[in-house]
Amino acid sequence: MSLQDKVAIVTGSGRGLGLAYAQELARQGASVVINDVDEATAAEAVASIEALGGRAVAVVAPVGPTETAQKLVAAAVETFGRLDILVTNAGVLRDTVLWKMSDDDFDTVIGVHLRGTFTCVREAATWMRENEVAGRIICIGSPTGQRGNFGQTNYAAAKAGIVGMVRTWALELKRAGITANAVIPVAATAMTATVPYFAAAVEADAAGEPMPPFFRHDLGFGTSDDVAGLIAYLASDAAAGITGQAIGIGGDRLQLWSHPEAVFTTYRDGGWSAEALDEEGAEIFDGRQQSVGEKFPPLPAELDRTKA
**Rounded to whole angstroms, how far apart are CA atoms 229 and 193?**
22
CA angle 285, 287, 292 (to 5 degrees): 85
What strands, in cross-sheet order, belong to the sheet with 56-60?
56-60, 31-36, 7-10, 85-88, 136-140, 179-185, 246-250, 253-257
CA angle 140, 142, 146 (to 5 degrees): 125
What is the amino acid identity at position 245? Q
Q: Is 142 a catalytic residue?
A: yes
Q: Is 233 a catalytic residue?
A: no
Find the catalytic residue in 13, 21, 155, 224: 155
Find the catalytic residue in 159, 197, 224, 236: 159
Phi first, then psi: give them for residue 85, nearest 5 degrees. -140, 135
Q: Is 155 a catalytic residue?
A: yes
Find the catalytic residue in 6, 21, 31, 142: 142
112-126 burial, b for 16+ CB within 10 Å, e for fewer? bbbbbbbbbbebbbe
Catalytic residues: 142, 155, 159
